């Protein structure tokens, strides 16, 4: 079995630890007479899809069936049933307060009218007036305004 496309062994060991704690010997006896390393490798392979979704594995472990321990395919199916995250699923934008929308959009428009390089222009004016900037300040002004800032070397 190709290990590069399998769940990490440490993850499978943690899953086995949890299943053993929950089901005890019933879980371990399910694989009696079978090389446990092979069993764990099969679990790693079957659960490979969840390497990028550990929350799905967590869901599978949190929804273990009572009674008989799951097979790898049953556990995989439980992981597939994990709720999918949907950004802003609970936000209903159709009911936004019009006054709040107006205030927020007004603030955004006012901020958009600001000069994003005003800080650099103020610092450049201080430098031109004799302030000795740090190297970082000089480089930031130069980068922001795309011009060279001439200053005397530090004492």
Q: Which residues contact 121 (CB under 8 A, 6 or more apart)?
A: 115, 145
Distances in Å between the alpha carbon of 77 and those of 16, 81, 82, 150? 17, 6, 9, 67
Domain locations in the chain? 3-80, 93-145
Query: Smallest Cα–Cα separation from 50: which of 60, 64, 39, 42?
Result: 60
- Evaluate if residue 90 carries a pLDDT over 50: yes
| pLDDT tier for residue 93 given thresholds of 50, 70 and 90 | low
- Evaluate if residue 104 carries a pLDDT over 90: no
137-143 mean pLDDT:
90
Residue 149 pLDDT: 52
- Evaluate if residue 1 carries a pLDDT over 80: no
Interhelix angle 135-145/118-128, nearest 10 degrees: 120
Please, are residues 142 and 148 in contact by the beta-carbon 8 Å criterion?
yes
Q: Which two tokens stand for residue 47?
A: 């659960």
22-46 mean pLDDT:
94
User: What is the spatial distance between Cα 151 and Cα 114, in angstroms, rounded to a whole number?
Assistant: 28
- Evaluate if residue 41 carries a pLDDT over 70: yes
Residue 101 pLDDT: 78
- Comparing 95 with 92, which gets the higher pLDDT? 95
Residue 112 pLDDT: 59
- Evaluate if residue 29 carries a pLDDT over 50: yes
Residue 88 pLDDT: 60
| pLDDT tier for residue 155 given thresholds of 50, 70 and 90 | very low
**Helix extents (H) in the chain:** 9-23, 25-29, 36-46, 54-62, 72-80, 98-112, 118-128, 135-145
- Comparing 147 with 96, which gets the higher pLDDT? 96
Average pLDDT over the chain, rounded to an integer: 84
Q: Which two tokens stand for residue 120?
A: 């650099």
């Amino acid at each position: 079995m190709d290990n590069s496309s399998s769940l990490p062994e440490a993850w499978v060991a943690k899953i086995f630890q949890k299943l053993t704690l929950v089901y005890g010997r019933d879980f371990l006896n399910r694989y009696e007479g079978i090389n446990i390393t092979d069993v764990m490798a099969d679990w790693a392979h079957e659960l490979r899809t969840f390497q990028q979704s550990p929350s799905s594995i967590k869901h599978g472990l949190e929804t273990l069936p009572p009674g008989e321990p799951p097979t790898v395919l049953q556990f995989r199916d439980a992981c597939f049933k994990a709720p999918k995250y949907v950004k802003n699923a609970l936000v209903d934008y159709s009911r936004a307060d019009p006054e709040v929308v107006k205030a927020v959009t007004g603030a955004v428009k006012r901020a958009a009218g600001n000069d994003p390089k005003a800080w650099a222009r103020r610092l450049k004016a201080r430098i031109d007036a004799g302030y000795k900037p740090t190297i970082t300040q000089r480089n930031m002004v130069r980068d922001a305004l795309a011009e060279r800032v001439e200053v005397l070397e530090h004492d």
